[in-house]
Structure 1
Amino acid sequence: MSETAVDRLGEWVREAYALGAGPLHREPVARGARGLVSRLAVGDAAHALKQPDEAVDEDDVRAEAALLDHLAARGVEVPVHLRATTGAYAVRLPTALGGGTVRVARWVEGVRATSAPSEPAAVGALLAALHRAAPPASSPPGRWWTTAPDVGVFAELASRASDRPWGPVLASRLEDLEVLAALVARAGTSAGPWLVGHRDLHPDNVLVAPDGSLRALDWEDAGPVDPGRELAKVLVQWHVDGDLVDEAAVRTTVAAYRSAGGPGQVRGHDELALVLCTELNFVERQARAALDPRTGDEGLALAEADVDLSLRSYLPRPRTLSRVVELASG
C-alpha cells in the first residue's frame, strides 16, 4: 500500500470513528494469523486499528466489547473498543481502500512479552486479576476448546505433506499426538463453573507495561473457560519450550496466581485439555491452509512456519506435560 493510500485509510478511519482533529500517523505493528494491527495516532491520542483477514461478525465483536467494558470497570487495563459513528464496532472499508473490515480500540502502551522479559509472578498476577474480574459464563466451551482431531487426521496430513519441510516432523510426532488426543477425549468438558476468559494468553498477546506489570491484548478468542484449564494453558505456553520446563517459573506463577486470589486449580491431567485442544486444532487448521493451493504466498509462509513451530516447541511430549501437572498441583 502506498503512503498516499495509508494516509487515505487513516483519514477514513478518523472520520468513521470520530477520532478528532490533529496530526495523524498510522504505523503497522503486527501481522499475525488473524490480520494486520496498526498504531493509529490522532493528535495526542493513540488507537489500535485492526484489519482482520476474515469476515467479522458484529454480534461477536459486541460481546467482546461488552466483556472488555466489564473488565475495565473493575480496574483491569484492557484495549476497550470504540464505536463508529454508525453505532457499530466493526465497519466495512470502501473497495478503493482495499475493502475488508476495520475495528478500533484504545491503545495500550507496552512491549510485547515475546520481546521483553517478564517475571513469572507477574504472569500469575495477571491471570488471577482477569479471572477475579471475569463475568460467569452460562454455557460450556465449544468444540474447538474441548475436542481434538483424531490422530488419523494428522496421519493423512503428514502423508500429503511428505515433500514439505514440516511433513516429516508431523509424521515423527504421530505417536505423541495420539496420546495427547486420547488425554483430551478422557478429560471431556469440565463440569464448571465456567467464567469468560481470554483463552489465548500466550506471550505474544501480552504487553509488558513500563512498570513491569502485564496487559492482555487480542481478545478475539475470549469465551467460556474452566479457570483451572486456562491456568494450565498459561503455564505450558509461558514456561515450556519443547521438552524443556522452567520448573521454578511454573511454581512461581502458580504461587502468584493463588496469592492474588485466582480461582483455578490444576489437579491433574484433565486440566491440560484446553491447551492441547487449541494447539492440536491450530496445527490441523494451519496444515490444511499450507496444503491448500488457494492459499497465497504470504499465508502459505505463515501457515508452514506455524505448523513447524507448534510441532517443535508448542506441543510438548506427554512426559513433559506430566511434569507441569506435578509442579502445578504440588
Structure 2
Amino acid sequence: MLIETAERVAREFELGEVAAEPVYAARGELGLIWRVDTDRGSWAVKESLIEVAEHDAAADVAFQRAAAASGVVLPAPVVDRGGRVILRARPYDLRVYEWADLAAGEITAAQLGVATASVHRVRHAARGPVSEWFAAPLGADGWAGIAGISRRQEWEDALHAWLDDLVAVDAIVVAPDPARVTTCHRDLNEENLRMSTAGVLTVLDWENCGPAVPAWELAAIVARDPEVYRAYVAAGGPARVTRPEDFSMRVAVQGHLLEFYARRATDPTETEENRARSRARLGEMLTRPLTLERISAVLEGLRDHHAHSVGHHAQPDGCA
C-alpha cells in the first residue's frame, strides 16, 4: 500500500495524521490487511479482492456492533466521516478497523466452542434469505464440471478417490427453515479466533457474516472438531446438532469451495499466488472431506454427549 493511499484513508476515516509507511500484516482469501499508524493510534486497513456493496458492508458492521454490545470481543469497525464503510479505490476497495494486538499460539477446541456460543447468543435479525453458497448443494452438473477441469491436475487422484462420496453427501442438504435463520458469522474457525496480547479471546474477519441457521454453523465447526460441542453447550450456546440435515451448510460450502478453488487454480488469468493458494486448499480439503460416513460418526459422538447431558442443561431454544 502506498503511503498516499494510507493518507487518503486517514483523511476519509478521520484517523489522524499518518506517522509511518503502512506495514503489510496478513492476507486472507478475500483481501489483504495493512497496519497504518497515525498520531491517534493504529488501524487495520483491509484491501478487498472482491467488490462488496456498501449496503452489505453496512449490514455486517451492524452485526459486529450488536455482537460487541453483547460482550463479544472484536476489532471495532470504523466508518468514514459520511458514515460509509467502504472507500472505493483502485485497484482495491478499502475498509478500516481498530488495530488489535494478537498473541501467537493455537486456539483450543474449548475456546472455539465458547466463542461460537457467544456469537450465537447475539440473536441479530437476518437481512434477507440464506444465499445458495450456504444453502444449495453443488449438484451433479457442478461435480462433473470440477472433475472436468481437474483432469491432469495434481489433485485429480484425490478428487477421483472421493468423488462418489462427495456426490452422495449432497443428498442431505435441505432448504433452511426461515424461522430458524438469524445472522451468523459464517466463517468461525481457528484462523479467525485469536487471543489478544492482553489474554482476551478475540473474534476476527466478520465480512462473511450473514443469514444462516446457527445449528448449521455449529455443525460445520463440530464436523472439524467434535470437542467444540461440549464447550459450546457448557457456555450456554443455544443451538443443538442432532440430525444429518444440520450439516447442510457445511456440505453446501464444501462443494462450492472445491469448485471455486479448482477454477481459480486452473485460471491462467489469476496470479501465481492465488493459483498456489488454491492448489494448497484443494489438497487440504481433499485429504478428509465431509462424507455421509463422517457425519454419522460425528452424530454418534454427539448422541453420547446428549445422553450424559440430560437433566444438566436447559432445553435448546428455537434457533436450533
Amino acid aligned to 2:190: P
* Residue 84 to residue 211, structure 1, CA distance change in 2 (3 Å): closer
Task: Tell me how far 1:139 sits from its aligned partner.
Answer: 4.8
Match of 2:171 in 1: 182
Aligned residue among 176, 183, 186 for 1:196: 183
Amino acid aligned to 2:211: P
Aligned to 2:44, the other structure's residue is in SS state strand
Match of 1:170 in 2: 159
Q: Which moved more, 1:71-80 or 1:256-265?
A: 71-80
4+ residue runs over 4 A deviation: none
Match of 2:313 in 1: none
Deviations 1:239-274 (A, max 9, x none): 2xxxxxxxxxx24x3222122221100111111111
Aligned residue among 130, 136, 141 for 1:141: 130
Amino acid aligned to 2:296: S
Aligned residue among 14, 29, 35 for 2:31: 35
Q: Which moved more, 1:18-27 or 1:263-272?
A: 18-27
Aligned to 2:287, the other structure's residue is in SS state helix
Aligned length: 304
TM-score by length of 1: 0.84
Match of 1:215 in 2: 202
| Structure 1, gaps ≥5 residues long | 240-249
Distance in 2 (CA, whole Å) between partners of 1:65 and 1:236 is 28
Distance in 1 (CA, whole Å) between partners of 2:230 and 2:169 is 27
Aligned residue among 291, 294, 302 for 1:328: 302
Mapped pair 1:263 → 2:238: yes
Aligned to 1:91, the other structure's residue is in SS state coil
Match of 1:109 in 2: 101
TM-score by length of 2: 0.87
Mapped pair 1:286 → 2:261: yes
Task: Tell me how far 1:281 sits from its aligned partner.
Answer: 0.7
Match of 2:145 in 1: 156
Amino acid aligned to 1:218: D
* Residue 56 to residue 142, structure 1, CA distance change in 2 (3 Å): closer
Match of 1:246 in 2: none
| Structure 2, gaps ≥5 residues long | 305-320
Task: Tell me how far 1:29 sits from its aligned partner.
Answer: 1.8
Mapped pair 1:316 → 2:287: no
Distance in 1 (CA, whole Å) between partners of 2:200 and 2:243 is 29
* Residue 287 to residue 22, structure 1, CA distance change in 2 (3 Å): closer
Task: Tell me how far 1:121 sits from its aligned partner.
Answer: 1.9
Distance in 2 (CA, whole Å) between partners of 1:278 and 1:63 is 21
